[in-house]
Structure 1
Amino acid sequence: MKNLITDISGVRVGHADDATLASGVTAVIFDSPAVASIDVRGGGPGTREDGLLKPESTVQEIDAIALSGGSALGLDAAGGIQAWLAEQGRGLRIREAVIPIVPGAICFDLLNGGDKAWGRFPPYRDLAYAAARAARDDFALGSVGAGLGATTANLKGGLGSASAQTDGGVTVGALAVVNAVGSVTVGDGPWFWAAPFEQNDEFGGRGLPPSFTPDMLRARLKGGPQATPSENTTLVVVVTDAVLTKSQAKRLAMIAQTGMARAIYPVHAPTDGDVVYAAATGRKPIDPQFGLTELGMVAANTVARAIARGVYSATALPFLGALPAWSDRFG
């Protein structure tokens, strides 16, 4: 176990980003089509193909997921991953046509100091093609890919991942791009809200403060009272090797959203676009009630850990006035 989403066999992750742009793309590639669904709880989401992921929709499986910066302009990223998949002959086959199925979601990173004067077309389609081509079992965390330009209310955001197993041996992994309007740490200290779920000091081993003061519990919001819609968003992908139907994948995504509430304070705000994708590679059967409930419980804890790891691993952007990284303040 590498403590990454790629501990699920048949899942690979690739990044591509641009330091001058201060933005990027992360591609989650499935070696074989995966059953998938989505749960959206933020008030300002930006998604592509979310209608296809509803349990009542016809298409059952997907080939990849695109996560991107760039706000709505980053939705082009899915097209870049489609282009790479098409070159591999991957996709839904309808007679002689082959259509790669690639849902995607974006976060807002247009005001982080990077140079966004890219000309006529945004660069995200080309970045996504490069990310898909670079997909591997091992990948970097922190300020990379879709997490390069991410921020939170008080610290640099980033990309994190974690994995775990149920008592029955079913594996679940999570990947998170943390660009939240709220905070991932408690007050002005080094403690992560997700501390109760930490494993092997994966985000510093600081635990929780001995007590909570009123100041620790007040809202810390990116932009303060001037916070505006769609400037934020945490994006999560949860993958398991369980056998799930599309409706069960939807339920898994819903339960896994609990992990955001364990790691971000506040969460699911009008100015967030929080999204959880859940996908299943279909290798291990589970009980449809207790087994799915247990899997969702473990998935939620894994999401919380991935979010904390994303902030813990991040590095500050090299721009005047950029937010510090966790390691700059507490490392």
Structure 2
Amino acid sequence: MELNDTLTAIAGLRVGHAEMLDAPTGCTVILMPQGVPAGVDVRGGAPGTYGTDTLNPLNLVDRVHGMFFTGGSGFGMSVGDGLRQYLRSEGVGFDSGHGRIPIVCGAVIFDLGLNHTGRYPDPVLALQACHNASSERVVEGCVGAGTGATVGKLFGIERAMKGGLGSSCIQAVAGLQVAALMVVNAFGDIRGTSQCELVAGCREDRDSLRLVDADREMHNLQWLRGFPEGQNTVVGVVATNAQMNKTQLTKVAQMAHDGLARTVAPAHTLYDGDTIFALSCGSLPAYEVTVIGALAAQATAHAILRAVTKARRYDHLPAAGDLP
């Protein structure tokens, strides 16, 4: 049996994908019907998020039951309705005294650069993803929310490459697990963990398989002309089997962004909606928050690299595996 080194190695989490048959877009759901503590950190300048105020440590509800990532930009937000509908049908949710209310959060990516059909992920697709959810190894690449993801858009979509969805899990001392799932739709290039190697990103021209260095090109640019905000993002979640509260998880989500900054260049731009959630799903005794945050950054970096290395070509956009 293949080792599960993805998010679902964390007991209590199920992941499901669904894609539209007639459009390059899709959604991914994460189910934790038992309810788990969660935190979030939003760093991008153009976020598209759902239910994140619930995760503020100052607020009442301390557990979430479902999470989603989806294409379709703002049009994809209705995936949250489908996820909540599914959880409600399962009798899952916060006991309000007047029935159970499933607590759901999520984030969107802008994949309209590839999807010109006018059709977007919706509650029906969300229900399909929920029914597909399992604790098996997460399927990676151009699936679910990563279906229409692209990277390296400094000079527009014509010179970009395919992004996707990736996941990773770190097994540490005394049974500690820290995992990540990332949907990579970045404005910037993707670098190896040494930060020296370009893995995917902006190409010299539409038909080229030679990469330019977006960081280096910034030396030659004063303005990024004709590039609307909000068309890019890396969104995802990190999770651990250690016991943590909302405040601690908020710090872990914050530290996980270090992994994003190691592998995406530039990261957290005005044009990105970079958002990372954090979940505590286990019963291990409390660990040092800094240790878990540091491991979350490593898992995030690994998941981002897997998202692009497992992606495949779409139309004229090559994937990392197509490069010489």
Common topology (TM > 0.5)? yes
1:181 paired residue number: 187
Aligned letter for 1:49? Answer: G
CA contact (8 A) 2:215 2:266 kept: no
> Runs of 4+ in structure 1 displaced over 4 angstroms?
214-217
C-alpha distance in 1 between matches for 2:27 and 2:234: 14
C-alpha distance in 1 between matches for 2:98 and 2:299: 41
Tell me the number of residue pairs that the alignment of Structure 1 and Structure 2 aligns: 296
Aligned letter for 1:286? Answer: A
1:199 paired residue number: none
Alignment of 1:244-259 (within 5 A): 244-259=244-259
- Structure 1 position 88 matched with structure 2 position 120: no
SS at 2:165 equivalent: strand
Sort the Cα spacing of 1:254 and 1:111 in 2 relative to 1 into closer, same or farther, 3 A: same
CA offset at residue 219 of structure 1? 4.2
CA offset at residue 56 of structure 1? 0.5
SS at 2:265 equivalent: coil
1:149 paired residue number: 148
Aligned residue among 135, 138, 153 for 1:137: 135
Percent identity, please: 36
TM-score w.r.t. the length of structure 2 is 0.87
CA contact (8 A) 1:70 1:108 kept: yes
Sort the Cα spacing of 1:250 and 1:219 in 2 relative to 1 into closer, same or farther, 3 A: farther
CA offset at residue 323 of structure 1? 1.5
CA offset at residue 36 of structure 1? 0.3
CA contact (8 A) 2:214 2:266 kept: no
- Structure 1 position 234 matched with structure 2 position 261: no
Sort the Cα spacing of 1:275 and 1:87 in 2 relative to 1 into closer, same or farther, 3 A: same
CA offset at residue 327 of structure 1? 1.1
C-alpha distance in 2 between matches for 1:231 and 1:146: 14
C-alpha distance in 1 between matches for 2:127 and 2:255: 31
CA contact (8 A) 2:25 2:72 kept: yes
- Structure 1 position 172 matched with structure 2 position 173: no
1:158 paired residue number: 164
SS at 1:257 equivalent: helix
Sort the Cα spacing of 1:172 and 1:219 in 2 relative to 1 into closer, same or farther, 3 A: farther
1:125 paired residue number: 123
C-alpha distance in 1 between matches for 2:125 and 2:249: 29
C-alpha distance in 2 between matches for 1:83 and 1:144: 23
CA offset at residue 169 of structure 1? 2.4
SS at 2:162 equivalent: coil
CA offset at residue 31 of structure 1? 3.8
CA offset at residue 100 of structure 1? 0.7
Q: Deviation string for 1:232-281 (max 9, x for gaps)?
A: 01001111111101100101101111110111010000000000000101
SS at 1:27 equivalent: strand
Aligned letter for 1:292? Answer: V
Alignment of 1:34-49 (within 5 A): 34-49=36-51
TM-score w.r.t. the length of structure 1 is 0.85
Gapped regions of structure 2 (runs ≥ 5): 153-159, 200-211
1:28 paired residue number: 30
1:211 paired residue number: none
- RMSD (Å) for aligned C-alpha atoms: 2.0
